[in-house]
Amino acid sequence: MTMSTAETGSLDLSSLHDHNNATSEHPPPPSHQSQQRPVSSTTSDPPVNYSTDALLRQREDEDAEDAMSSSVASSRLNGVVAGQTATKELPKLQAIGELDNGDSYDLVTEDDPASFNLVSPPPAEQTDTFSLEDQTQALFSRSHLQVIFADPTLLLKFTSFLGAHRPQSVPILVHYLDSLKSLRAIHYANAICEGLDPVEGHDFTQKPVKPTINLALEDRAHRAFDVLVTEELPAFVTHQYIQIVSASITARITGALSPHLRDASDGLAEVFCLTDPSRPDNPIVFASDEFNRTTQYGMGYVLGRNCRFLQGPGTNPESVRRLRDAVKAGKQHQEVFLNYRRDGSPFVNLLMIAPLADSRGIIRYHIGAQVDVSGLVKHCSEMDSLQKLMDLRARGEDPPAPEQPNPEKNDELRELSEMLNQGELNIIKRHGGKMHREVAEEDIESTSSQQPRLLLKDPNTVAPLSATVNGRLSGVYQNYLLVRPYPSLRIIFASPAQRLPGILQSPFLNKIGGSNRVLEELTVAFAEGRGVTAKVRWISRGDEQGKNKWIHCTPLVGLQNQIGVWMVVIVDDEQSSTERWPTAAGRLPPSVATPERDSRLSANGQRTFASSQNGQGHHYEANGGGSIGSGSFTSLRIG
């Protein structure tokens, strides 16, 4: 591991560690390190905390970290990364149409009388054919986490994630790092012993000293690292992918996605299913059309079955266990799975689930949102550590094991010093080499005068982690409603962010402001069961004027292809988040297209609906496998 002192000192997670212990009956006393003050030569040094926990301090509050994640996701909607002038394209999530063997099957268009080829010749035989299953296994492998621990920047990202989103896992991280520091101290002692030269005339110095080996400590470090690989690495990967997916889906819903990515994200935001835990084996009772298209399983097969039919030989059993435990405990959960379509082809599935409780808090259903992120895995998008691992494997190399001396560094003292905390470094700064030189009193005082900045946080100000979060999904799906089908259109479930007093069982269309014609056109769209994406005027309690919002409505169907519930995702209008619709004359909200309006086929085969408003024509496109609609041939793109 090449983590420098300055870099490790910026990891500040001790406040979360203290918060975890604050719930016990007798909270621990303050750390000795936080009580250090300048000392003179006549005073003894205070006890030093040798734990790596002193290095792991949270840089910012969890709320600030979450706000930064949202800001970064929002800043990518137009392909621009905050703080940079250059544009950065959002990565392609899916790998549709990309063949694993690299064969493109290009058509032969030239008229060559001597040729009988209709498609281009096959490529030369490749020894390293891409395998999505192998790459996914590498993504969650021990080697991947070893690459992360070998790079200070990647390690900082990983530990910051644990401190902000999984503080309950900080103790096992600290335990591993302290075990690792102990092993590196042994390696340094062995290196010194190896350098002991025999002294002539003293027979006891002639026999070499055997290296010290602590098998129990090595086993403890190995097991702690296994826990990080099994539990924390998947959570870290899932969190990273949720940030990318949220930005991509938000950009698609709001129309900010670039044209070629629209094709690649066809139907991306419409893969939902609803399960009923009151029935044996928690079967699927409703699913969207895009769920069937993504998995290739028809509705007749899907309904009444548990979703485990998507599992296959490469599915991680630990991921299945975490999902099963979350459903049993009634908790929201997100996980990245290697799943399989009906034809046996693998795809990487980002699954986000949440329980849906009624007004009495009884869990009635579970909602599941799925996104195919095979493209992210295949191209190592936004995952530099995975790209480094694949580069190492391409060269036939393995990443360095943190528990063993790094042959590239060949310096045991350097590897140990990289893990020292600030308290230990202060002791070395004040007393290092004192045995071999004369130290003046003023020198000691000067080296002790500059104390590290303290981070003090009242544990009472840290929001406790709730055991269950009713209906919470991640990323762009944090704001959603589940609405009964037409003609009821009542809101039956809502995400925590939308679950305001009185919203359950209230009419959904009451949330839409504007003219009666807007409500009529929305009603027609719901009545005909056509998925719709629309920019609307959203009315909320205390805000009668409303705000600009995008609503992305997807029907979930059940037996006999009847709509059972609507999933409505609500997204802020980033371009005019502070803008209000005028109360009088002026700009009107966009109308909703319906199939009953004037329709015609466009040049690309899509059906276009035209409406007019104040003499101006507005055209909306129903996607028939194209790229401008919301993905399904039964859905409309509005706005």
Distance CA 406, CA 146 (A): 12
Distance CA 568, CA 552 (A): 5
Triad 332, 333, 338: Cα angle to 5°: 150
Distance CA 557, CA 618 (A): 30
Distance CA 219, CA 222 (A): 5
HSE-CB of 622 using CA atoms within 13 angstroms: 20
Distance CA 584, CA 515 (A): 11
Which residue has tokens 């936004």?
382
**b/e map 450-465, b = 16+ CB within 10 Å:** eebeeeebeeeebeee
pLDDT of residue 57: 53
Rama region for 25: left / alpha / beta (φ>0; ψ in -120 to 50; rest): alpha
Q: How far is CA 60 from CA 46, 148, 451, 471, in A?
A: 28, 22, 20, 27
**b/e map 273-304, b = 16+ CB within 10 Å:** bbbbbeeeebebbbbbbbbbbbbebebeebbe
**Helix spans in 368-512 (H):** 374-378, 384-394, 412-417, 422-431, 441-448
Supply 25's token pair: 């009956």
Supply 471's token pair: 């209906």
What does R_g of the chain's alpha carbons equal in angstroms? 30
pLDDT of residue 327: 95
Residue 366: what are its φ and ψ, rounded to 5°?
-125, 135
List domains and CATH numbers for the chain: 129-243+393-421 (no CATH), 264-379 (3.30.450.20), 480-576 (3.30.450.20)
Distance CA 149, CA 389 (A): 12
Q: How far apart are the first and last CA of the chain?
A: 51
492-499 long-range contacts, CB within 8 A, separation 24+: 492/565, 493/356, 493/357, 493/364, 493/365, 493/367, 495/354, 495/471, 496/469, 496/470, 496/471, 496/472, 498/570, 499/470, 499/471
> Average pLDDT per run of 10 along the chain, which is 639 residues long?
38 41 42 41 55 55 47 43 47 58 72 82 71 95 95 92 94 94 92 89 89 93 96 96 89 74 60 95 95 93 96 96 95 96 94 94 94 91 93 92 80 84 84 74 50 48 47 80 94 91 91 79 87 85 81 90 93 59 38 40 35 37 36 51
Task: Estimate to the nearest angstrom the gap between the alpha carbon of 553 and the chain centroid.
Answer: 24
Distance CA 335, CA 231 (A): 11
pTM of the shown model = 0.73
Q: Is 599 exposed, middle or buried (0-12, 13-18, 19+ CB in 10 A)?
A: middle
Rama region for 79: left / alpha / beta (φ>0; ψ in -120 to 50; rest): left
How many residues are present in the chain?
639
Triad 249, 254, 255: Cα angle to 5°: 95
pLDDT of residue 429: 85
Distance CA 470, CA 366 (A): 10
pLDDT of residue 461: 44
Q: Is 598 exposed, middle or buried (0-12, 13-18, 19+ CB in 10 A)?
A: exposed
Distance CA 444, CA 38 (A): 9
603-612 long-range contacts, CB within 8 A, separation 24+: 609/636
